Amino acid sequence: MDPPVNAPRRAAYTAAVPARVIVLEPGVPTELLGGLGASVERRTTPGAGAEVEALIVGPETRISADALGRMPSLRIVSTCSVGFDHIDLAAAEQRGVWVTNVPDYCVEEMADHALALLLALLRGVVILDRDVGRGGWDHRAAGPLPRIRGTRLGIIGCGRIGRALAARATALGMEVWGHDPLVPPEQLAAAGIRPAGFEELLGACSALSLHAPLTPATERMIGARELALVPEGTVLVNTARAGLVDQEALLAALDSGRLRAAAVDVLAVEPPTPEAPAPRHPRLVVTPHAGWYSPEAEEEVYRRAVAAVRDVLEGREPRDVVVRGRIPVPRNPRSPGSAPRRPAPARVPSARRTPPEGRDADRPRP
């Protein structure tokens, strides 16, 4: 880690050179950063420079070790999202840069969106609508429509969002199973979730919802082998991370009928491009990474991401810490920002910080 910068030297430097705060997430209201004595810039790439002290990013912007190295005075990367797999955490820690996220701003929205997609698939809402739009009028066009009460739902990833979905599904009379190697079985049981092994859950549940973080261990955790284990006619929802599912295997399972229907709120490339289009299938529903969104959630995620930057620049430790950086030094030691620092939580391994649910995973967000 770089040697810490002492307060007198930092104060002398910042008195001469205004800080630069670079905003890479287009939705952030820059007026929230007023009063910092900093130059606020909107950019589409991180840029470089000794004066850059803070980055505010969304999940679409990757912050690599190389990018961090071009900003030697960087003090904080604040991400407007639950997930943080787009940031090189090891490089940030090595350089003494704080990394913060907003881990719980959209729990209700994500659970609501996952439930909405599950109900739409189970009751064939989208498929029936498409059939009517083509001139049909057949209540069997989507296949057998199961009764919701008694449907066995398997939740993979039982963080905040997974448990919130479980509560909603239980209220509808669904039988909820769950798998999460990082949550003790007794905690799952206390949430009304039957703990299960991964393959046990796949083989027993006719509805699946993914809420795991994207890590090397979970990448493509749902592929051809795993889909071969699910009951014929299962429905699958992924609102977490696109990388959890092998897309080609998903489409093949829809073709074969192993999956009756599927819905995704996340793609490998967002927004889609001509070179990487959104997947299409008659029994696939795609939403545009909207699970996180409500006006209330949007206001909260931007406000808290900006508050983390303000804390560090004014000499306080931020909340929602993913990586702990150097002890903050106020840009003006005599300013109100030099008030006593509030304690920050200890760094938590990244696999537990998301959903999203980690993150749960999420935008901006899962």
Per-residue pLDDT tens over the stretch 66-104: 999 999 999 999 999 998 999 999 999 999 999 999 999
Bridge partners of residue 99, in order along the sequence: 77, 323
What backbone torsions phi and psi does residue 201 show, to the nearest 5 degrees?
-65, -45
Does pLDDT of 361 surpass 90? no
Nearest residue to 206 (alpha-carbon basis) of 134, 150, 165: 150
| Helix extents (H) in the chain | 7-16, 65-69, 89-95, 107-122, 125-133, 160-171, 185-190, 198-204, 224-227, 247-256, 295-313
Classify the phi-psi angles of 195: left when phi > 0, otherwise alpha if psi is within -120 to 50, otherwise beta: beta
In the prediction, which pLDDT does 328 show?
81
Indicate if the pLDDT at residue 152 is higher than 60.
yes
> What is the rounded distance in angstroms from the CA atom of residue 289 to the CA atom of residue 279?
14
Dihedral sign, Cα of residue 144, residue 254, residue 233, residue 213: negative
Answer for the pair 106, 81: CB distance below 8 angstroms, yes or no: no
| Residues belonging to the active site | 241, 270, 289
Domain spanning 108-286: which superfamily? NAD(P)-binding Rossmann-like Domain (3.40.50.720)
Report the top-level CATH class of 7-105+296-359.
Answer: alpha beta
Query: Which band of pLDDT confidence, cut at 50, 70 and 90, is reported for residue 21?
Result: very high
pLDDT of residue 179 exceeding 80: yes
In angstroms, how far is CA 138 from the centroid of its own chain? 38
Give the mean model confidence (pLDDT) for residues 159-185. 97
Please indicate whether the domains covering 7-105+296-359 and 108-286 agree at the CATH topology level: yes
Angstrom distance (rounded) from CA 291 to CA 364? 10
What is the length of the chain? 366
User: Where in the chain are the domains?
Assistant: 7-105+296-359, 108-286
DSSP letter for 285, please: E
What pLDDT, on the 0 to 100 scale, is given for residue 195? Answer: 98
Contacts of 317 (CB under 8 A, 6+ apart): 311, 327, 328, 341, 342, 343, 344
